[in-house]
Amino acid sequence: MDYPGIDGFLGTRASVMLDVVLLAMLAVLPAMALSIGLARYRKEWGWHKRIQLALAGTLLVAVTLFEVDMRFLTDWRLRAEPSPYFSSASLWSSPVGIALAVHLFFAVPTTLIWGYVVSGAMRRFPSPPTPGEYSQRHRFWGRIAAAEMTMTAITGWIFYWLAFVA
């Protein structure tokens, strides 16, 4: 079928930006884990900062392009229609709709929390970064942000599979 928008490259019904975000999240989680490990176990706070800023910038661009694609170019519902898990009549009670709702439950707060963690670190840590008074709060909210990002990725992959692969 010929769908509106740019077709993806992974051989599914997804658009190109859905494929890009899917792969980006596959890269983000290991990079995030590496960054956290460098800070926690090796005291490489400068590398932690560089990796986190690169991740934040990359995701900001990817999510912005994704939103433009979803709002103006791609009709994701039309692409999801062939899925046995999709129902346009009762979207929010179908498995695709439930998966999307759960994904958004994690994705929206993740954006806000990660923004808070990054902006707080930029304001409160010296350059080059070293531990200080703000470290405990940064560690607390950073753990929440990492858990939220992990759940955002997992729930996004589930939604992608239900809507565009099945």
Residue 106: its pLDDT value, please?
A: 98
Furthest-apart CA atoms within the chain: distance in Å: 57
- Give the range of the structural domain holding residue 38, as residue numbers without chain letter: 16-165
Residue 81: its pLDDT value, please?
A: 96
Asked whether residue 5 is domain-assigned, the answer is: no
Output the tens digit of pLDDT for each of the chain's 166 residues: 789 999 999 999 999 999 999 999 999 999 999 999 999 999 999 999 999 999 999 999 999 999 999 999 999 999 999 999 999 899 999 999 999 999 999 999 999 999 999 999 999 999 999 999 999 999 999 999 999 999 999 999 999 999 999 9
Q: Supply the pTM of this predicted model.
A: 0.93
SS3 40: helix
CA proximity to 47, closest of 128, 120, 114, 113: 128
Residue 17: its pLDDT value, please?
A: 95
Residue 1: its pLDDT value, please?
A: 77
Q: How many domains does the chain have?
A: 1
Asked whether residue 11 is domain-assigned, the answer is: no
Asked whether residue 111 is domain-assigned, the answer is: yes
Cβ neighbours of residue 163 closer than 8 Å, sequence gap 6 or more: 13, 14, 76, 79, 80, 83, 85, 86, 96, 99, 100
Do the beta carbons of residue 66 and residue 20 sit within 8 Å?
A: yes
